[in-house]
Chain A
Amino acid sequence: KAGVTQTPRYLIKTRGQQVTLSCSPISGHRSVSWYQQTPGQGLQFLFEYFSETQRNKGNFPGRFSGRQFSNSRSEMNVSTLELGDSALYLCASSGTGGKEPFFGQGTRLTVV
């Protein structure tokens, strides 16, 4: 069974630009969550999608948005990038039966 796949693995963007990150969950998993990880703040929850609906949202500005498609793949978008958005963005998928989420390897975003 393939794991959670995130693309791209690395990204360099300029302040003010926007970026879209992609996450393909494990086959059969309908829940996808996104997290931002920085050295200062650690792992912070962004949002969670289930069956194309956002079920929960963390405390991030509206520049951070996401969506989920009918095949459970998810994207997150960050608009008007700031230097502080530089981070490792992780997505995790989980099935309906268990509580264990499976994380992808993340997308390392650097904003210059």
Chain B
Amino acid sequence: SQKIEQNSEALNIQEGKTATLTCNYTNYSPAYLQWYRQDPGRGPVFLLLIRENEKEKRKERLKVTFDTTLKQSLFHITASQPADSATYLCALELNSGYSTLTFGKGTMLLVSP
């Protein structure tokens, strides 16, 4: 069966450290993989998109890697800040040409000062 797995346990790190979140999937062949941030009671906010033929993407303090052989994406936040505390969701988009996403359940990140 198809699965997207993110670590369900919260990730606690110290301010200034690098946070690394994992997204693993099985039985999918996504064309794109996206990462979102979600704060309590709010809708997800798009952060980064990486295509199946890309290995790595960066945006400011964020870095995403995509390994289609391992079926895994890693999401890094460098120099983390308490304001980065939120739930981070990965989402797969199949090459259907339509705007549909399959989401993981998310990992909560807590950055302490």
Q: Please report A residues at the B interface, Cβ cutoff 8 Å.
A: 4, 31, 33, 35, 41-45, 48, 50, 55-56, 58, 90, 92, 94, 99-106, 108
Contact = CB atoms under 8 A, between A and B. Distances in A.
Interface of B: 32, 34, 41-46, 49, 89, 91, 93, 96, 98-106
Nearest to B44: A103
B89 A48 contact: no
B100 A48 contact: yes
A106 B42 contact: yes
7 contacts: A31-B98, A41-B105, A43-B89, A45-B101, A56-B100, A58-B100, A103-B44
Contact of A48 (B41, B45, B49, B98): B98
Given A90-B43, A92-B43, A99 B32 contact: yes
The 5 nearest A-B residue pairs measured at CB = A103-B43, A42-B105, A43-B103, A31-B99, A56-B98
Contacts of B34: 99
Contacts of A33: 99-101
A106 B99 contact: no
A55 B99 CA distance: 9
B100 A102 contact: no
A4 B43 CA distance: 10
Given A48-B100, A101-B46, 18 more contacts: A33-B101, A43-B89, A43-B103, A45-B100, A45-B101, A45-B102, A55-B98, A56-B98, A56-B100, A90-B43, A99-B93, A100-B49, A101-B99, A102-B46, A104-B43, A105-B41, A105-B43, A106-B43
